Chain A
C-alpha cells in the first residue's frame, strides 16, 4: 500500500490499458465498496448485487481501451454500473423501464447550478435512506449519486446521459417526494 495509493484512477487505468492486470486489481479495490453500496441502494436488495458488481468490473476490463485517460475514470465506471443495474431492474420488474421524460426535453435554467443545500445533505442521508426503495428509479438514482456517492451534477449527467439541468430537477423532485414520505411516516408513528 504502497506506490499504488499515490496513483490516480486514470493513471491506474492507463497501466491496465498497457496490460498491467495487477493495476486492475487495485481499481477493483478502490471501487468495490462504492459500487456495492450504489447497487444496494439502487436495487434495494442485495441478493445478486455482488454478481452484478463483478460483471461491472469484467465489463470495465473488457472495455478499458475505450476509456480516455484524459477524462475522469469515476463517471466512466459508474456509467457501466448504471447500465448494468438498469438492466437488472428491467429484468426484475419485467416491465419496460423508461428513463425518458419531458424533463430531458426542455431547459430548466433554475436548476443548472442550483445545488441542493449542503446543510440538508447529512440530515437527508440519515433520514431518508430507508425510503429510497419506494422512490421512482429515475429520481432514486440521481439522489443516490448526489447525496450518497458525492457526485457533482455534471458527473451525474455523464453517468445517466441526461442534461445537467435535468439532474437538478430530478434531485429536487425526488427530495420533495422523500420529504412527503417521511412526514407521513412521522404522523403514522
Chain B
C-alpha cells in the first residue's frame, strides 16, 4: 500500500513540479509526417530503381534473351545489374522496418508485408518503365542535359553484354539481315538453320529485334533472333522454335 501511494504521489509530484512535461500534439503529428515522407521517398526511390533495372535490361536487349533457351537464361542472369538489385533489396528492408510500426503490418507475418512490398515495387516499377521516363532521362544524359544522372545511365550503357545486339533491321539479305543499333552502327547478321526464332522468323526491314550471337570479323553469327514489341506467348510457343527458311 505504501509502494502504491509512493508511486502515485511521486508521479503526480514530478508532473506538477514540471519534471515531466507532456509533449505537445504537434510533436507527434510532425513525427508521423516525417515518417510518412520518409516512406514516400523510399517508395519513390524503389520505383525508380525497379523501373531503371527493367529499362537497362530492355535497353541492352537482355530482357528478351531468356527466350533463346539455357544460353539466353544464363546471359540474362549474368547481365542483371546486381548492384541496383542489391540496393533495392536494402531499401525494401528499410521500408519494411518503417511500415512494421503500423498495426496493418505487424499484425500479419513478416512474409506477407515483404511480398506485398516486392509486388508493389515490381508492378509499380513496370508501370513507371511503361511511361518511358527512362528513355527521356537516357536521351537527356546522352545530350549532357542531365548532369546528376548522366553517369548512372552512361555507366550501365557501357556494361552491355558482349553477345546481345538490340537494334532495327535495315534490310534483309540472302543469308540474314543488316541491323542498326542506337549508336547508328550497322552490323551484318548471318542466320543459319541452327538460329532460334522463338517468336517467328518473319523479319522485315524496320523490325525492332534483339540478336544473340558471336561477333566475328564484323559479322554476327546469330544464335537467336527475336522481334521486340510483340506479345510474349509464354511458355508454349517459346518451345515451338521456327527456323528461317
Contacts and interface: CB of A to CB of B under 8 A. Distances in A.
Interface stretch (B3-11, B35-43, B62-70, B237-245): B3-11
A161 B20 contact: no
B interface residue count range (under 10 / 10 to 19 / 20 to 34 / 35 or more) = 20 to 34
Which of B12, B103, B107 is packed against the most chain A CB atoms within 10 Å? B107
Interface in A23-45: 24-25, 28-29, 32-33, 36
Given A32-B4, A58-B20, A65-B23, A104 B109 contact: yes
A131 B242 CA distance: 73
B10 A54 contact: yes
Interface of A: 17, 21, 24-25, 28-29, 32-33, 36, 50, 53-54, 57-58, 61-66, 104-108, 154, 157-158, 161-166
B12 A107 contact: no
B27 interface: yes
By secondary structure, the A interface counts as helix
A101 to B, nearest CB: 11
B158 interface: no
B233 to A, nearest CB: 35
25 contacts: A25-B8, A25-B11, A28-B8, A28-B11, A28-B12, A29-B8, A32-B4, A32-B7, A36-B3, A53-B7, A54-B7, A54-B10, A54-B11, A58-B11, A61-B20, A62-B20, A62-B21, A65-B28, A105-B109, A105-B111, A107-B112, A158-B107, A161-B106, A163-B110, A164-B107
